[in-house]
Amino acid sequence: MQAFRNLAARAPKATAKSVSSRCASTLKEVLAAQIPEKQASLLKLKKEHGDVGLGMVTIDQVIGGSRGIKTMMWETSNLDPEEGIRFRGLTIPDCQKKLPGYQKGGEPTPEALIWLLLTSEVPTKEQADMLTADLHARSKLPAHIEPLIRSFPKDMHPMTQFAAAVAAMQTDSKFAVAYHTVNKKELWQHAYEDILNVFARLPEIAALIYRCRYADGQVKKDLSLDYSGNFCRMLGFTDPTFDELMRLYMVIHSDHEGGNASAHATHLVGSTLSDPYLSYAAGLCALAGPLHGLANQEVLGWILQLQAEFKKAGKPVNKDTIEEFTLATLNSGKVIPGYGHAVLRKTDPRYEAQRQFALKHLPDDPLFHIVSTVYEVVPGVLTKLGKVKNPWPNVDAHSGVLLCHYGFTQHDYYTVLFGVSRAMGALSQLFWDRALGLPLERPKSVTPEFLWSQATKAK
């Protein structure tokens, strides 16, 4: 035990440093300076302690979607079942306190979070602004992307359009070209370029999909604003409070450690040395599933259905009627969207952060009132089922109601917003995967016969 404590004391801490300790100042220079030390640390860990076991794997885990099996290294964030997410050691309230906002005291900007996720250092306002300018400068889409999006059938789901457009940008990949021409030790530089370009271009792609599907197809940029502010203008929203909501939304949706399906898919595909465009397109396909990112669309659909049915039947919205509606959903063989989680065992702090925003900015909104009453009822109902491991709300239980309040009502689009945000975590980690030269991911599968033979031996 003492030996473990000594080792742990020597290991790099997953806590953000408050000021850049290095003299290098651009994001790429800070990262370049960090790489040799981190490579050496990983090599030492592998060489001297590679044979240390991390626990047994049970048959239940093999059949049950690998829950809890520690099988991936992920440094940008960590998820504790009780406490929730920490980005480089910082909780959501820590980020709100420490990361620079667009305005002093405002919500942290996604640019500040990208800096934190990549470097584990809290950026100064100047560094965050420098990154904003860099992202704006990289934001021009390859010429074929706009016509491609305009050619999609109107009824193609926005997430299908989004994943297809991101994959189609692969024509621009510097990493894919470099793979054939440069020493693999230098590949991280090209991964960096692609990753920053993906961050820069996702908002316009997302806005084009939105404007073509629900509005006049025109996208108007405002590069005098930050990443989120410009994104809101491109979508067609001009309320500064909505800009703040978008900053909060993007930060809390950015990363949720590595095991979730979108992050894991990005990491898996990237491990084949597929470039960041194709890797993140895979992540988006995973995010589009209703048990994962699409749950945000499902939640609002469920709440609107509840509201419409109650109105038609002349029923009041209260705990009893919501309990009836919840039971009817469960009895029809469906899940309650926005509730439950594979890792969390408490109310998601991302839900709590959005609830605080609602209490401050829209306390009297009728949909917020429904969401709050659902929160009072659903955990009790799910607990009574006896099988649900986490009856508490997750991030998706709240986001739609906030968006709706500001007139963003097209809920079949909501997962695209999640997809713009999730890139920040999944691709920051992908940068480190390439910088550290992590190998092809290739776990072992086993047959049912093997499992039966092990089960029989264990008796």
Residues annotated as part of the active site: 292, 341, 396
**Residue 71: CB minimum distance to ligand AMX, A:** 16
**Residue 395: CB minimum distance to ligand AMX, A:** 6
Q: What is the amino acid identity at position 303? A: I
User: Are 336 and 378 spatial neighbours (Cβ–Cβ below 8 Å)?
Assistant: yes
Question: Nearer Cβ to ligand AMX, position 203 or 391?
Answer: 391
Residue 172 token pair: 């621009």
Please give the residue ranges that form the binding site for ligand AMX (CB under 6 A): 260, 291-293, 295, 330, 335-342, 382, 387-390, 394-396
Those residues whose C-beta lies under 8 Å from the C-beta of residue 136, and which sit 6 or more positions away, are 200, 223, 230
- What whole-number distance in Å separates Cα of residue 109 and Cα of residue 129? 10
**Residue 140: CB minimum distance to ligand AMX, A:** 31
Beta strands 84-87 and 77-80 are antiparallel
Question: Nearer Cβ to ligand AMX, position 82 or 364?
Answer: 82
CA diameter of the chain: 70
What's phi and psi for 50, nearest 5 deg? -60, -25
DSSP 326: H
Question: Nearer Cβ to ligand AMX, position 234 or 250?
Answer: 250
**Residue 289: CB minimum distance to ligand AMX, A:** 9
Residue 224 token pair: 């005098």
* C-alpha distances out from residue 162 to 18, 75, 248, 254, 454, Å: 35, 27, 22, 17, 44
User: Are 232 and 393 spatial neighbours (Cβ–Cβ below 8 Å)?
Assistant: no
- Cα 130 from chain centre: 23
- What whole-number distance in Å separates Cα of residue 292 and Cα of residue 200? 24
What's phi and psi for 255, nearest 5 deg? -155, 145
**Residue 349: CB minimum distance to ligand AMX, A:** 13
- What whole-number distance in Å separates Cα of residue 140 and Cα of residue 204? 9
Strands (E), 30-163: 77-80, 84-87
**Residue 257: CB minimum distance to ligand AMX, A:** 12
**Residue 262: CB minimum distance to ligand AMX, A:** 8
Of residues 351, 422, 434, the one with CA closest to residue 391: 351
CA angle 50, 264, 179 (to 5 degrees): 80
Residue 317 token pair: 């919205």
- Cα 393 from chain centre: 17
Helix (H) or strand (E) holding 117: helix 110-119
Those residues whose C-beta lies under 8 Å from the C-beta of residue 354, and which sit 6 or more positions away, are 248, 249, 252, 395, 398, 399, 402
Question: Nearer Cβ to ligand AMX, position 119 or 421?
Answer: 421
Question: Nearer Cβ to ligand AMX, position 341 or 398?
Answer: 341
**Residue 340: CB minimum distance to ligand AMX, A:** 2
Question: Nearer Cβ to ligand AMX, position 236 or 289?
Answer: 289
Question: Nearer Cβ to ligand AMX, position 208 or 342?
Answer: 342
Question: Nearer Cβ to ligand AMX, position 291 or 451?
Answer: 291
User: Are 227 and 110 spatial neighbours (Cβ–Cβ below 8 Å)?
Assistant: yes
